[in-house]
Amino acid sequence: MKPVTTIKSGLHNIIIGNEACKVLDDHLSQETMNPFILVDDQTKVHCLPYLMNCSKKIIWDNIIQIPEGEKYKNLQQCETIWNKMFQNKADRNALLINLGGGMISDLGGFAASTFKRGIRFFNIPTSLTGQVDASIGGKIGVNYGGIKNQIGLISFPQLIIIDPVFLETLPEREIRSGFTEIIKHALIANDKLWKKILHSSMQELLNFPSDKNAWIQLITESVRIKNNIVSSDPYEKNLRKCLNFGHTVGHAIEAHLHTEHDIHTHGEAIAAGMICEMYISSKVTGFSFSDVETVSNHIIRCTGHHLISRSSFNDLVSLMEHDKKNISGKIMFTLLSEIGKPVINKSCEKQIIFESFEYLNSLA
Ligand SMILES: NC(=O)c1ccc[n+]([C@@H]2O[C@H](COP(=O)([O-])OP(=O)(O)OC[C@H]3O[C@@H](n4cnc5c(N)ncnc54)[C@H](O)[C@@H]3O)[C@@H](O)[C@H]2O)c1
Ligand SMILES: [Zn+2]
């Protein structure tokens, strides 16, 4: 495998590979000599020192630090970013580099795209979720009123640098969570990738860094799927909706995090969401029930089995009623008819949604 792979589209360029961060300085122009770098508490400690080693152009005064965690993906933290850029006299040629997981790229991308009507930004994703999903495709924004991603826009980073070195310090639970989005990409677009995932050992993959190449390959295949879909439908008129598989139920669970069930990460919420939505697919789009069982069991082996409490069933459906994807008041899903064949804009009876929660909880 080549040390660095470049994937170009009309939207953004993606560079993937071992020590890919070393190319950063080649992409900084005269005006963006000293970029702003957004970090959270964790990525400041675990990722910033490596990036500073790779680049001669980062200065301490332009580091913007915010607290870690989904609950800080909000307008208040966005103001923290704007304030620091104002203080340091950023102009419209300024550049913001988002160094972190999906929370950082969503929030930082939003802050950059709205600052003085929009400055450029790069994403350097440091979580697996960020590397295979969140950093790509330009969906950026913040949570509002307790609901996910209610304020935001689609605006593309100029460059995405994916360096697997960052996975070395990522907690195992976060690696397992990020793996969910790799599974999702396979399920919606690539039957062969799904078979490869089904027959690969999570334990061996977790044996990082000895298996760095296996990760680079998986990440690259996953990124290509997302990039192809986004490039053909950047503003989600049609095809891009297939990326929402697992996310109608998953986002509702995520908005309900840290309440009554033991799901704590985006990936865990989406894993549960994919299991529920495969069950719904078996009732609505003829997805085979034996596939529901095989895939669900594999998801559970990779991400763990996270139950949702009965007392939150009604709240979850209410949250789904606020989903941005709904049409004419109906809750909309992206379902599967077969592995690799998504079907967009599907709705179902509420009873089937409740049954899907029961199905998730019944799996051993
Ligand atoms: N825009 C999109 O298309 C898109 C797609 C998927 C997810 N998302 C969003 O992304 C977020 C979830 O992403 P996430 O799971 O990366 O969350 P996150 O950014 O909160 O990262 C998870 C945790 O890992 C820590 N971390 C990140 N990199 C690390 C590293 N290398 N070493 C040690 N710790 C590290 C973070 O500090 C955080 O505590 C959600 O807000 C979700 O809505 C967006
Ligand atoms: Zn997701």
104 C-alpha to center of ligand 1: Å? 7
154 part of a folded domain:
yes
From the CB of 101, is ligand 1 less than 6 Å away?
yes
The number of angstroms, rounded, from the C-alpha of 145 to the middle of its chain's C-alpha atoms is 21
220 part of a folded domain:
yes
221 part of a folded domain:
yes
Decide if pLDDT at 3 tops 60.
yes
What pLDDT, on a 0 to 100 scale, did the predictor assign at position 9?
85
pLDDT in tens, 253-298: 988 765 555 667 899 999 999 999 999 999 999 999 999 999 999 9
DSSP for 250-302, written as a single string: HHHHHHTTTSSSS--SHHHHHHHHHHHHHHHHHHHT---HHHHHHHHHHHHHH
Residues 190 and 159 in one domain: no
The number of angstroms, rounded, from the C-alpha of 16 to the middle of its chain's C-alpha atoms is 16
Residues 240 and 144 in one domain: no
What pLDDT, on a 0 to 100 scale, did the predictor assign at position 1?
45
Reported confidence tier of residue 208, pLDDT bands at 50, 70, 90: low
What pLDDT, on a 0 to 100 scale, did the predictor assign at position 147?
80
pLDDT in tens, 217-233: 999 999 999 999 999 99
With H, G, I as helix, E, B as strand and everything else as coil, classify residue 134. Answer: helix
- Within a 10 A sphere around the Cβ of 303, how many other Cβ atoms? 25
Average pLDDT in the chain: 92
- Are 179 and 202 a contacting pair, CB within 8 Å? yes
Q: What is the mean pLDDT of residues 115-141?
A: 97
Residues 184 and 306 in one domain: yes
What pLDDT, on a 0 to 100 scale, did the predictor assign at position 211?
66
Q: How far apart are CA 143 and CA 238, in angstroms?
A: 24
Residues 10 and 142 in one domain: yes
Specify the length of the chain in residues: 364
Decide if pLDDT at 306 tops 90.
no
67 part of a folded domain:
yes
248 bridge partner residues: none
Query: Which residue, of 147, 169, 191, is where some domain finishes?
Result: 169
What pLDDT, on a 0 to 100 scale, did the predictor assign at position 318?
92
Q: What is the mean pLDDT of residues 80-88?
A: 97
Task: Round the CA-based radius of gyration of the chain to a whole number and report it.
Answer: 20
* Eight-class DSSP state of 69: S
Domain enclosing residue 270, as ranges: 179-362
Residues 187 and 328 in one domain: yes
Q: Out of 70-79, 100-109, 299-308, pick the least confident.
A: 299-308
Q: How far apart are CA 264 and CA 286, in angstroms?
A: 31
130 C-alpha to center of ligand 2: Å? 9
Written as six digits, the tokens of 302 are 């990779």
From the CB of 182, is ligand 1 less than 6 Å away?
no
Catalytic residues: 117, 139, 181, 226, 236, 240, 244, 247, 251, 266
Query: Which residue, of 169, 193, 216, is where some domain finishes?
Result: 169
Residues 136 and 235 in one domain: no
From the CB of 268, is ligand 1 less than 6 Å away?
no
Of all residues in the chain, the percent with pLDDT exceeding 70 is 96
From the CB of 126, is ligand 1 less than 6 Å away?
yes
Residues 146 and 202 in one domain: no
Residues 218 and 110 in one domain: no
Q: How far apart are CA 72 and CA 142, in angstroms?
A: 9
Decide if pLDDT at 2 tops 80.
no
Residues 146 and 248 in one domain: no
| pTM of the full structure | 0.94
What is the tally of structural domains in the chain?
2
Ligand with smallest separation from the Cα of 42? 1
103 part of a folded domain:
yes
174 part of a folded domain:
no
Residues 244 and 355 in one domain: yes
Q: Out of 101-105, 152-156, 304-308, 322-326, pick the least confident.
A: 322-326
292 C-alpha to center of ligand 1: Å? 27
Residues 111 and 225 in one domain: no
What pLDDT, on a 0 to 100 scale, did the predictor assign at position 257?
66
Decide if pLDDT at 32 tops 90.
no
From the CB of 46, is ligand 1 less than 6 Å away?
yes
Which among 181, 232, 159 is positioned nearest to 8, based on CA atoms?
159
Residues 145 and 228 in one domain: no
118 part of a folded domain:
yes
Residue nearest to atom 44 of ligand 1 (CA): 134
Distances, alpha carbon 319 to alpha carbons 142, 145, 147, 331, 363, in Å: 16, 11, 8, 10, 24
Pocket test for ligand 1, best of 40, 70, 103 (most atoms within 8 A of CB): 103
257 part of a folded domain:
yes
Which among 219, 209, 231 is positioned nearest to 179, based on CA atoms?
219
What pLDDT, on a 0 to 100 scale, did the predictor assign at position 34?
85
101 C-alpha to center of ligand 1: Å? 3
The number of angstroms, rounded, from the C-alpha of 86 to the middle of its chain's C-alpha atoms is 29
pLDDT in tens, 148-187: 888 999 999 999 999 999 999 999 999 999 999 999 999 9
- Are 233 and 301 a contacting pair, CB within 8 Å? no
Phi and psi at 287, nearest 5°, equal -65, 135
Of residues 55 and 261, more confidence is placed in: 55
Q: How far apart are CA 105 and CA 24, in angstroms?
A: 17
Handedness of CA 64, 174, 196, 234 (dihedral sign): negative
pLDDT in tens, 42-53: 999 999 999 999
**What CATH number is attached to the domain comprising 272?**
1.20.1090.10
Handedness of CA 338, 326, 102, 5 (dihedral sign): positive
**What CATH number is attached to the domain comprising 159?**
3.40.50.1970
Query: Which residue, of 121, 148, 169, is where some domain finishes?
Result: 169
